[in-house]
Structure 1
Amino acid sequence: MASELGKAMVNFIAVFHRYSGQEGDKFKLSKAELKALLNSELGGFLGDAKDPKAIDEIMKALDMDGDGQVNFQEYICTTTGLTMACFGSCTGTEEKCQKMKKVSTLTNAMVSLTEVFHKYSGKEGDKNKLSKGELKALFKAELGDMLNDPKDPAAVDKFMKELDVNKDGEVDFEEFSILFAALTMSCNEFFETKGK
């Protein structure tokens, strides 16, 4: 059975592809597709997604390459950013977080991402950061099938060094979310290439 982190990854990808390609490029969201995604998955989470001016502003903010569409990289960077801003403190027990899991597939994935982080953080120190040992346990349990050898100390050291942007010897939720976004982009790219 897939890990909780793997399920969250699949859900982020599935939501994007559920809406993309209905009007053209199957690997990008048009303005209408983005509007449908926002209304269904985030239900006013980003403001009034029914207001055409609001949709224009959201589209402009998400469309980093200026092509008039939202590609997967733009989508995953935005949704993981929203996850950090809105759910980063969810450990899984809060009533708000449990309610948000039931709103949509995307909000479920967003909350699941934070729950996985907090499932492993705080066992060896700061409850809002992963130590090297906690990161290793997370890799082994959640990403073992994606990594060459999650038990290899050199591999964990390399990931720790690359993830620990602020060089405090631990990985916080923001740093972890960057890894998640990169892995999700890689998985999506694999499936897009396979589907062409």
Structure 2
Amino acid sequence: MLKGVWVCRRETSGFRHSSCCYRSPAPLSGFSRKMLTPLEGAVGAIVEVFHKYSCNEPHHDKLSKAELKCLIQKELGNMLKSTQQVIKGDFSELEKAIETIINIFHQYSVRVGHFDTLTKGELKQLIDKQLVNFLKKQKDQASIDSLFKELDKNRDQQLSFGEFMVLITRVTIATHEHIHQGEGGQQHQH
């Protein structure tokens, strides 16, 4: 069970009254925020936001429909608006994490070839610099080759943002499971 303060209350949202459940998110056990790269911090923020809203006991590791609705309303409201209406400082933690992932993808995708895809070399650079703590075992060329082949679903020798997000999703799930292992050593899967 996650250690945190549970606070459940009724909120008035943009739609109708909905029951939103909040709790303080679990920290990324084993990692200091200062040690994390911006991409790793974004992955951690996604996990923390998930835990902030997943209050449905005994399934605190899943979002109910109401919890998902609340998360979308509270955490993604600015991204659902026109980008011209939003001041950057108004972004939620989840929106900042998403923006960070997009920006880091583009920092590496513009280097070689098509500006909106990653080559194998760009993926290796991104992993070496941005996932240094989370993918320690994926740094040798054979691992990169295997990972790239697995992610490149259309076999065009480049990763689209969608293909890259499969990697980010896997890293996020592994981070979530790592947090739960730190809470009691039990294997945790969804």
Alignment equivalent of 1:39, drawn from 45, 48, 73: 73
Equivalent residue number for residue 17 of structure 2: none
* Rg larger in structure: 2
Q: Mapping of 1:25-174 within 5 angstroms? A: 25-43=59-77, 99=87, 102-174=90-162
How many residue pairs match? The answer is: 150
1:13 is matched with 47
How far apart, CA to CA, are the structure 2 residues paired with 1:33 and 1:106? 15
Tell me, yes or no, if the aligned pair for 2:117 and 2:161 is still in contact at 8 Å.
yes
Q: Is residue 101–residue 111 contact of structure 1 (8 Å, CA) maintained in 2?
A: no
Mapping of 1:174-193 within 5 angstroms?
Answer: 174-193=162-181
Q: What displacement does 1:13 show?
A: 0.4
- Partner of 2:32 in structure 1? none
Normalised to the residue count of structure 2, the TM-score between the two structures is: 0.69
List, as ranges, runs of 4+ consecutive aligned residues in structure 1 with deviation greater than 3 Å.
44-47, 95-102, 148-151
Unaligned runs of 5+ in 1: 48-85, 87-94
* Cα shift at 1:100: 5.5
Whole-Å Cα distance in 2 between the matches of residues 183 and 108 of structure 1? 18
Residues 23 and 30 of structure 1 are in contact (CA less than 8 Å); yes or no, is this contact kept in structure 2? Answer: no
Task: Describe the shift of the 1:195–1:163 C-alpha distance in structure 2 as closer, same or farther (beyond 3 A).
Answer: same
Q: Which consecutive unaligned segments of at least 5 residues does structure 2 have?
A: 1-34, 185-190
> In structure 2, which of residues 34, 37, 52 is the aligned counterpart of residue 3 of structure 1?
37
Q: Does the C-alpha gap of structure 1 residues 127 and 34 become closer, same or farther in structure 2, counting only changes over 3 Å? A: same
TM-score (norm 1): 0.67
CA shift for structure 1 position 46: 6.5
CA contact (8 A) 1:123 1:134 kept: yes
Native 8 Å contact 1:101 1:108 kept in 2? no
